[in-house]
Amino acid sequence: MTHAFLSEDWMTAARSIREKYADEVPEVNVSIQINLSIIEVPFGDGQVDAYFDTSTGALQLELGALDEPDATISTDYATAQALFVEQNQTVAMQAFMSGKIKVQGDMMKMMAMQTAIPANDFTEKITQEIANITEPAPAAE
């Protein structure tokens, strides 16, 4: 079953996938806390606030906002899905250069996130399983 990216159902399914492999993924050795403000969301009131937090040694993605994030990323839904689910770095770079991704706060911490998350076979499984539960983003208008 697939779910809309960042919906409650998607968050529950993605959390379950991350928990399934929690003992198999390397620890994140850098503390990074980033709030996400996503607009043009195709459900709810059209905006979702979420955050990434690695301060526990694991990557957490949850709904809501941190009180004192290192940075805040603002972007549209389709770009966020391409960046965080599809991990399409080309789309991310193009979106950043065209102003579709805005960053407030510590840009170095945000950039560090690209290399701070260690990868192994299990992180690739997590990425693929999360992609498999995610509905395609609506086409851009």
Tell me the per-residue pLDDT of 83-127, one tens digit each, with 9 for 90 and over: 889 888 888 889 889 999 999 999 888 777 777 777 788 888 999
List, in sequence order, every residue forming a beta bridge with 74; answer none if it has no partner.
Answer: 37, 102
- Residue 17: the pLDDT is 96
Mean pLDDT of 5-19: 96
**Does position 19 have pLDDT exceeding 80, yes or no?**
yes
CA angle 45, 32, 43 (to 5 degrees): 15
Pick the CATH number of 26-125 from 3.30.1050.10, 3.40.50.2000, 2.40.10.220, 1.20.1050.10: 3.30.1050.10
**Does position 81 have pLDDT exceeding 90, yes or no?**
yes
Contacts of 16 (CB under 8 A, 6+ apart): none
- Residue 140: the pLDDT is 55
